[in-house]
Amino acid sequence: MHNLINFLRRNIYWFVFIFLEIICFYFIFSTNSFQKSVFFNSSNEITGRVYAISGSFLSYFGLKTENQDLLIRNAELHSQISELKDYIYNLENDSMKTEAFLNDSTRFQKKHNYIKARVENNTISQVYNFITINKGKNDGVKLDMGVISQQGIVGVVRDITPNYAVIQPVLNPHSRFSCKILNSNTAGTLIWEGGDPRYANLTEYPKYEKVEKGDTIVTSGFSDIFPEGIFVGVIEDFKSEVNDNFYSLKVKLSTDFGALKSVLLLAGKDQEIKELESKVRNAQK
């Protein structure tokens, strides 16, 4: 405290001088419009420069946060782009499937009688599952017509009334369908042994045939129900049967039976071919 008083005493003239200068400048700038405008313009310029410099410093020190935000935003954009690519890919696949189905439908229309029908009732959790559709004898439905969906094979017509029909689907232990690996001439028997409705087994498939996981399974055409080449599913696994000369192929079915809404009924082979084959079989008995 004593040192402060001594400091003020030694420099009191300077403090008085500065105080008087401030009063003089106040009167000069407050009573003269020109000096006042100069002062305010200068002060605004100085204030603007101070703000600009301080803003630059703050922006510089805030770059780390901004960079982190940009990285997060870029990651979000990359994720959205990836999702968009997947969506476009799925749309293209769905479009290809739909176009192929329509082409197949056109082909069936030319070579086979076919009928479109809506699913009225459908079971997938029973031992013996059945599907009821809204078309019957009045619509041209006949027994043993093959039934497919946009995704692939469904089953065969087992009973009909004037306005309805009952389909025995793949998901029924009594169903037996001749199928093969795509681009192969060797057929096996597709059966469902209960359990998971997504899978069935292609049995009695010879071991000398080349089998790989992911191979496509289609109808063989060796029956009166389905023409050759209708999509059935893909091989998910395979193992040896009791008889070591054959494989049992686990097939993931292409048709989602739980979401089945509409089907297409096919007449199968021409009646003339059926009669000819029946005549030959009867002659051999």
Query: What digits encode the pLDDT tens for the residues 105-135?
Result: 445 444 456 788 999 999 999 999 999 999 9
Indicate whether 279 belongs to any domain.
Answer: no
Q: Is 43 in the same domain as 130?
A: no
Supply the mean pLDDT for the chain.
Answer: 77
Give the Cα separation of 122 and 233 in Å (integer): 20
Residue 81 included in any domain:
no
* Percent of the chain clearing pLDDT 90 (strictly above): 37
**pLDDT tens, position by position, 15-45:** 777 877 787 766 666 666 655 555 555 555 5
Do residues 153 and 169 touch, judged by C-beta distance below 8 A? no
CATH code, 214: 2.40.10.350
Residues 52 and 162 reside in one and the same domain: no
140 and 218: one domain?
A: yes
**Pair (56, 119) in one structural domain:** no
- pTM beyond 0.75, yes or no: no
What pLDDT, on a 0 to 100 scale, did the predictor assign at position 30?
Answer: 65
pLDDT at 95: 58
Structural domains counted in the chain: 2
CA distance 226 to 59: 73
Alpha helices by DSSP H, listed for the chain, are: 2-10, 12-31, 33-61, 63-111, 271-284
Q: Is the same domain home to 25 and 162?
A: no
CA 131 to each of CA 128, 169, 179: distance values in angstroms, whole numbers, following the listed order: 10, 7, 22
* Domain span at 160: 114-269
Q: Do 253 and 133 share a structural domain?
A: yes
pLDDT of residue 111: 47
The pLDDT of residue 250 is above 60: yes
Q: Max Cα separation, the chain?
A: 141
